[in-house]
Structure 1
Amino acid sequence: MSSPETAPELPGYEHLYSGKVRDLYAPLDERGRARTDRLLLVASDRISAYDHILSTPIPDKGAVLTQLSLWWFEQLADLVPHHVVSTDVPAEVAGRAVEVERLTMLPVECVARAYLTGGGLGEYRATGAVSGITLPEGLEDGSRLPEPIFTPSTKAPQGEHDEPIPFAEVEAEIGPVLAERVRELTVAILARGNEIATERGIILADTKVEFGLRGFMGETGPLGLREHGEDCEIVLGDEVLTPDSSRFWPAEGWQPGRAQPSYDKQYVRDWLTSPASGWDKASDEPPPPLPDDVVEQTRARYVEAYERLTGRAFGG
């Protein structure tokens, strides 16, 4: 059985945290102290699904996510600044790590949808709305929305579910000025992503992005964000428009009314919930290891998404 990839020890860096997919380090200064202005962000080959870190990694996944994010940061540079400072990183993590500016991250998951599927579809079927936004009747799995919508969610601790929230709750959490700015930016990123992806035969159904504040000096609670955050520059952090944070569909296969073929980790989700896996999503049991063919097909989808979007051959 494979085991989840662990964070490597990197001379000159202090390991701070490991999330589902990424490992965070602080560069050490000349006195051996952790710097407070920079982070090393390392994308592992771990893959998560249904709030579980799977025991089987996907080879080259971390490099695909990192290289694709770097490409997208360039395409979005006129919309919003990003957090990357340098790609000069330790050899052990070359190609899958970036040095980034340390920001005050906003405590909201910023999600935009251009098509209806996934959790948004379930919410729509139950209520006729997504994150408090009423949608037209008769929409199906894969339906294109009249216009992209902002459907934020909570930023839950690891192992817990993000929950959709209405825009009013975002305003209460970070203040109306910041809330409006991140709504506009999230929808603009999705729209720009679709402009570019559509030319390459790919539909960008939805995406999740994270923003931070540059130069924030206050407390990170709602009052502090209202009082001190509204004048700060918003910066795009984490990753952007990757198969882990977004749903990519081949345009030629799009057909509303069913689940769409995809370039993202939906392939893994589908196997986990199929009879072949023998796993009950509602149980407390961890998911089983992925079989070799699922690993190979998932890697192939990530690489194909990178190559179709960027026009570059993936070198690993």
Structure 2
Amino acid sequence: MELIRTGKVKEVYNDGDVLLFRFTDKISVFDKIIPNKIPDKGESLCRTSKFWFEKIKEERGIQSHFIECPSKTEMKVKKFRVNESGGSRIWINYLIPLEFVMRYYVAGTLMDRIKKGKIDFKELGFRSTPKIGDEMPEPLFEMTTKFEKTDRPLSFEEASQIGGISREEIYEIKETILNIDNIIARTISTRNLIHADGKKEFAMGEGRIPVVVDTFGTADEDRFWDREMFSNGKIVELSKESVRQYYRSSGYYDLLYSAREAGDKEPEITPLPEKIVKETSALYREMYSRLTGLKW
């Protein structure tokens, strides 16, 4: 097999008529790969993704690129054309070069943008400045670039042009995401979890039907909170967000984004303390079981 792409988390191999994803134990935040590896992380992502791909097909007939998992860290998927410079409204079977985000609660970079005045909270439906953990009056659907150095929020017009998709197709993708997230929310409701937000990717398949690709519903792409703690006024992060919070509290996040906004050289990301590595490894194993209801 030929290695054709090395991502922040996965290695992608050409395996004849299909692709093989090999999930590694690498971890990244803020588009930076952290020097440490997180034991069992790759297996958790692979097995959790398999669970969701099978569930959305079974419950709603939603198409995905998933074929099978030859091992606990490998996944065979359908092959789609990749053109990093953009899509086309006349193509089929190509990866849409966008990332699609649905937010149900205020958290992460959304809170940052509200604080900096980059987003008017009134346009989101809030009467006053929201705080982290506030539920969105309506789910917030956003699109960002995929192949730029850092993810950049896009307007509908920009997303349509870069993705090679019509406004109607964007709404179709949005509706598909809402259906998927409904399945996620219903599935985890009995497992003391809240699905706060998540990212998904799509290809345009035969007949220009959106096909879910990459991975979703894991502790990497999505943000989950402990429901019982949330009801008591405390947000307990049960995703990669806990690692992001470490770098926020250490001051690295502020240094990084100050450099990005100024166009300066970005500071190298420092390794995680061993204690955080062990805690994060345990979290990924725990979240596989909590999300799927299956034993590790």
Q: Report the TM-score when normalising by structure 1.
A: 0.79
Whether 1:68 aligns to 2:48 is yes
Contiguous gaps of at least 5 residues in structure 2: 81-93, 260-265
Q: Which residue number in structure 1 is paired with residue 279 of structure 2?
A: 297
Residue among 17, 21, 27 paired with 1:41: 21
Residue 102 of structure 2: SS of its match in structure 1?
strand
Deviations 1:229-273 (A, max 9, x none): xx3222111101111100011111216987x21111122122223
Shift of 1:150: 1.1
1:122 positional shift:
2.2
Per the alignment, residue 248 of structure 1 pairs with 224
Structure 1 residue 166 displacement after superposition: 2.6
CA RMSD after TM alignment: 2.4
8 Å contact kept, 2:238–2:283? yes
Corresponding residue for 2:145? 154
Worse overlay, 118-127 or 198-207: 118-127
Deviation at 1:193, TM superposition (A): 1.2
**Could you tell me which of 99, 102, 107 is aligned with 1:109?**
99
Q: Which residue of 2 aligns with 1:14?
A: 2
One-letter code of the match for 1:134? L
Residue identity in the other structure for 1:261? V
Q: Secondary structure at the match of 2:2?
A: strand
Matching residue of 2:156: 167
What residue is the counterpart of 1:31 in the other structure?
none
Contact 2:124 2:137 in 1 (8 A): no
TM-aligned CA deviation for residue 108 of structure 1: 1.4
1:98 to 75, 78, 96: 75
The one of 101, 122, 136 equivalent to 1:145 is: 136
Q: What secondary structure sits across from 2:37 in the alignment?
A: coil
Q: Which amino acid aligns with 1:59?
A: P
Q: 1:265 to 1:59 in 2, by over 3 A?
A: same
Tell me the CA shift for residue 205 of structure 1. 0.4
Paired residues, what number?
270
User: Kindly tell me: are residues 172 and 285 of structure 1, through their superposed partners in 2, closer, same or farther at Cα, counting changes over 3 Å?
Assistant: closer
- Find 1:134's aligned residue among 107, 124, 138: 124
2: distance between equivalents of 1:253 and 1:164?
A: 31
Q: What's the CA shift string for 1:108-152, capped at 9, x where partnerless?
A: 11110111111122223315548x953312321111112323111
Residue in structure 1 matched with residue 38 of structure 2 by the alignment: 58
The amino acid of 1:100's aligned partner reads V
Q: Which amino acid aligns with 1:101?
A: K
How far residue 298 of structure 1 moved from its aligned partner, in angstroms, is 0.6
**Residue 25 of structure 1 corresponds to which residue in structure 2?**
13
Which range is displaced more, 57-66 or 120-129?
Answer: 120-129
Identity %: 29
Give 3-state SS (helix, strand or coil) of 2:26's partner.
coil
What residue is the counterpart of 2:83 in the other structure? none
Shift of 1:172: 3.7
| Cα separation, partners in 2 of 1:156 and 1:256, compared to 1, 3 Å | farther
CA distance in 2, matches of 1:60, 1:239: 16
| 1:267 equivalenced with 2:228 (yes/no) | no
Q: Per residue, is there more helix in 1 or in 2?
A: 2
- How far, CA to CA, are the matches of 1:81 and 1:59 in structure 2? 31
- Map of 1:4 onto structure 2: none
Which residue of 2 is the match for residue 86 of structure 1?
68
TM-score normalised according to structure 2 size = 0.84
Aligned residue identity for 1:182: I
Q: Which residue of 2 aligns with 1:226?
A: none
Query: 1: CA distance between counterparts of 2:47 and 2:14?
Result: 21
Q: 1:254 to 1:181 in 2, by over 3 A?
A: same
* 2:268 pairs with one of 286, 289, 301: 286
CA distance in 2, matches of 1:16, 1:302: 27
Per the alignment, do residues 118 and 273 of structure 1 end up closer, same or farther by CA in structure 2, a change over 3 Å counting? closer
Task: Provide, for residues 3-44 of structure 1, a one-character-per-residue CA deviation record: whole Å limited to 9, x for no partner.
Answer: xxxxxxxxxx100010111110001xxxxxxx3x31001111
Write out aligned runs for 1:118-133 (5 A). Answer: 118-125=108-115, 126-129=117-120
Q: Does the 8 Å CA contact 1:22/1:42 hold for their aligned counterparts?
A: yes
SS in 1 for 2:35: coil
